[in-house]
Amino acid sequence: MAARKTALVIVESPAKAKKIQGFLGSDYVVRASVGHVRDLPAKAAEVPPKLKKESWANLGVNVDNDFEPLYVVPADKKKIVRELKDLLKDADQLIVATDEDREGESIGWHLVQLLEPKVPVKRMVFSEITSDAILEALANTRKMDENLVAAQETRRVVDRLYGYTLSPLLWKKIAPKLSAGRVQSVAVRILVEREIERMKFHSGTYWDLKADLKAGQSATAGGRFEAILQTVDGRRIASGKDFDENTGRLREGAGVLLLEEGPAKELQEKLKSADWIVSKVEQKRQNRKPAPPFTTSSLQQEANRKLNMTARQTMQTAQRLYEAGHITYMRTDSVNLSGEAVSAARGRIENLYGHEYLSPSPRQYTSKTKGAQEAHEAIRPAGKKMKTADEIGVTGAEYKLYDLIWKRTMATQMAEALLRFDTVTIAVENAEFRASGRTVEFPGFFRVYVEGSDDPDAALDDRDSPLPPLSENDNLDCNSVEANPHETKPPARYTEASLVRKLESEGIGRPSTYASIIGTIQDREYVNKNGSQLVPTFKGLAVTKLLENHFPNLVDLGFTAGMEQTLDDIATGNADRLPYLQQFYSGNDGINEQVRQRESDIDPREACTLKLEGLDVDVRVGKYGPYFEKLDGESKVTASIPATVAPADINNALATRLLEEKQKGPTALGMHPDDGVPIYQLSGPFGPYLQLGEVTEENPKPKRCSIPNCFDPLNLDLQTAVALLELPRRIGKHPLTDKVVNTGIGRFGPYVLHDKVYASYDRKTHTYEFNGQTYNVLNITMDAAVEMLKNTRKRAAPEPLREIGNHPDDGATIGVFEGRYGMYVKHGRINATVPKDTDINGITVQQAVEWLEAKAAKSGGVKKSAKKKATTKKSAKKSPQRRNGLRSAVLIRCGRWNGRSRPVSSGRNSCPGRRTVRKAWSPAARAIRPKLLS
């Protein structure tokens, strides 16, 4: 009797395979490809030997033969391909069930090409992993979409040609390990342009008046409100929008009154005793409609605003929710909701909030994004029940993100919110003040969800700020009038949310790639993250300058958006790949010819030199970071620019100070009263710092301390320097917990520490304002420290992006986390870096344990297997000759670095630290090694 045949279903991830296998049963075998199984060669070693001599081999694309890609199976995917081929031998059909976007179609196509099936092949697509959706998809399979495959292949080839043609040029002209990318370079340019706007910005100063008023008949606090000065003698007073950001002066023809300090304070005194009368009352009502359901882009933006999640964290968390069957597919440009989803949402709203909170009729949305055809539905809770986060049982980051998606979906089918805006004009002497209030008369969808804003100071729409009941000619009591100065602010730097919105609005890249783009520009050190701000580095400025000067079209927003549109046209069958690739790469205007012709025109020194507007010295991008360079006669003077200084914060005063400090060299402030060694003031990559004594062989790491911004490095006295070097200091015991409160200076600046909770001083000034007093790390009192700690949220332990499984030794959970420098796995106190481009959903316990053991061994710990070896007789015995040699080397090493005056015992365990023993053969020891062993 012949063995029963089964269908082989291939998906991308093991988690998805496990879930779908449960729906399909024993007639189907579901396996994961773990992402792409074939790609262009990532390194020269992957190029087949017979092709290594080809001129195009380094590109991985045969530019002489219709841009045919050279696809290879990476070493770590060969085992997976073999297993899939073996499974296919026993199958009567192959079902490709990869994701429904271009990349998923491409993965499926590569699988078919590699497996060469002799059985029927079907393409199965779905937007959610539920039993109903999977069974429906299985009943409605289709053929592979060759147009989607062509679009993805063209995108991959274009990105390879762009990066592999331009990146080597950057290595030669600026620095090694740099890279250029079709979307990456444009994203950096957007950030650089904003930074240059901030450099050119000139602030303007103006004054206004704020009055604290009370309705005459109201004796309660509720009758009080604030009003702001609007006009004087019939002329509107100047505000921030009236200033020219390039000059700091009022714009020509603004026709406004610039109120300065003197007149403002005179008016303040005059109005205190004047009569305040309501001259006009206006009311208007406004309906607010809910935002569309989430797309990939809007989910990334809102998760960044509300949950402080990076684009990468958002996509990884959404991926886990999707694979667990909790949400629909998370890579989509569509805002459409299926009829099933709309009905489910409306039924849930009526049950939870009542019929009055339902929109009068089902609400549908239309996509405004070009080429929004990648998926048929927006991101929403999967299934027909619209369960809440509590009901599906998720926790941590997954709970927060699912809750956000659930609320946004519910809001789309809820009634509009009704708001009332009250505006009151108040006449007093020759001036007019204005007060505004907002009242939510019916919350509608606000009951569930309010969209966030990129402006951190903006009030949320559902917040009431009502005025007391007022009528025309009402007399008001004035409690106080304040005269307040204001300075115009430079344009805000981009955050991840605002950058994603900018890229999408310009039609650059695909929302599904934004997370990797933002990660890449930080990995390449083109951009640093300061809080939520994306701050371009000097390296980013230099690369952008070179590309703008010599390849302007390649970083032009319109040109890049046009490339994206062409790729969309290929996906819909309205354009062919070959003419486009020929135009992009070959010919006189192609990228290859542009680089060949212009390479000799680019002077490396000029490429690494930045001449910033308003700065009298040059900024150079060097091997060890940016630095100032200035001619002093015929010689050059240089000084490192601290890593904490952003390009827009550079000015002549800072340059002069750093150059003067560098010329003077280390400054001895005096002798330490207790240690009897000099205290030096120096400047490093992270700013000015103090050092106790000199660096010697006996004292290779003298005590050092950063100088906080609240102290002037040019006027620092010995007493202050001694106090700073004695940090951290104990303030006392907390009055509520009786636990010690300390203050000191750490890696991220001055801090107050209590019970493992850190509170930071002001980031810019390194001070803290409390009860009208200004405190710093040397004079802060217990009361001020307690208040600072009270306003600091206790930092929660990081939540894993994914739990891999239990460690075989102790059963403790191994998790994958995202850190400052990328992904890592954690077990106990050991963290091990996850190799780049690793799919975290495919990491196994075995892989994680190997990484953790390697890290433990490198850090001075020992592997489990190493422990066993150490107890065997063979490893315990060593020849006397070898043992003596090791002892001698250890003695030299320890004696040199520990500065001991007497010989160190030659016993293996007497050397401080096993790590030192492993590195015992220093250059000096190696030089005399033959003598030691003779």
Which is catalytic among the residues 28, 206, 322, 329? Answer: 329
Question: How buried is residue 719: exposed, middle or buried, by Cβ count under 10 Å (0-12/13-18/19+)?
Answer: exposed
Element (H, E) at 214: strand 205-215
Tell me if 714 sits within 8 A of 658, measured CB to CB.
no
Residue ranges in 273-377 assigned as alpha helix (H): 296-307, 311-323, 339-353
- Cα–Cα nearest to 893, from 907, 883, 904: 904
Structure tokens at 151: 């679009």
Residue 427, H or E segment = strand 417-428
User: Positive or negative, the Cα torsion across 37, 38, 40, 43?
Assistant: positive
* 240 and 254 Cβ atoms separated by less than 8 Å: no
Q: Residue 339's CB: how many other CB atoms inside 10 A? A: 9
> Are β-strands 802-806 and 813-819 bridged in parallel, bridged antiparallel, or unpaired?
antiparallel
Are 565 and 507 contacting, i.e. CB atoms less than 8 angstroms apart? yes
Residue 823 CA to residue 806 CA, distance in Å, equals 19
CB atoms within 10 A of CB 7: 18
259 with 238: CB under 8 angstroms?
A: yes
Phi, psi for residue 774 in degrees, rounded to 5: -105, 120
Nearest to 99 by CA among 839, 905, 837: 839
**Residue 690 CA, distance from chain mean position:** 33
Task: Tell me the pairing of strands 205-215 and 224-232.
Answer: antiparallel
CA distances 148 to 61, 299, 371, 641, 875, Å, are: 19, 24, 12, 48, 60
- Phi, psi for residue 277 in degrees, rounded to 5: -130, 135
Residue pointed to by tokens 């991220």: 748
Which residues, 6+ apart, have CB-to-CB distance to 113 below 8 Å? 38
Torsion angles phi and psi, residue 210, rounded to 5: -125, 130
Catalytic, 329? Answer yes
Using only C-alpha atoms, what is the Rg of the chain?
33
Rounded distance, CA 97 to CA 104, Å?
A: 8
Q: Please confirm whether the linkage preceding 728 is cis (ω < 30° from 0).
A: yes
Read out DSSP for 60-88? TEETTTTTEE--B--GGGHHHHHHHHHHH
Q: Is the dihedral of CA 738, 739, 743, 748 positive or negative?
A: negative
Number of neighbours of residue 888 by Cβ within 10 angstroms: 18
Tokens of 245: 């950001």
Distance CA 22, CA 27 (A): 11
Q: Provide the residue type at 693 as one letter.
A: G
Vertex 517, ends 514 and 520: CA angle to 5°? 150
Asked whether the beta carbons of 40 and 70 are under 8 A apart, the reply is yes
- Tell me how far apart the alpha carbons of residues 185 and 517 are, in angstroms, rounded to a whole number: 9
Give the residue numbers marked as catalytic.
329
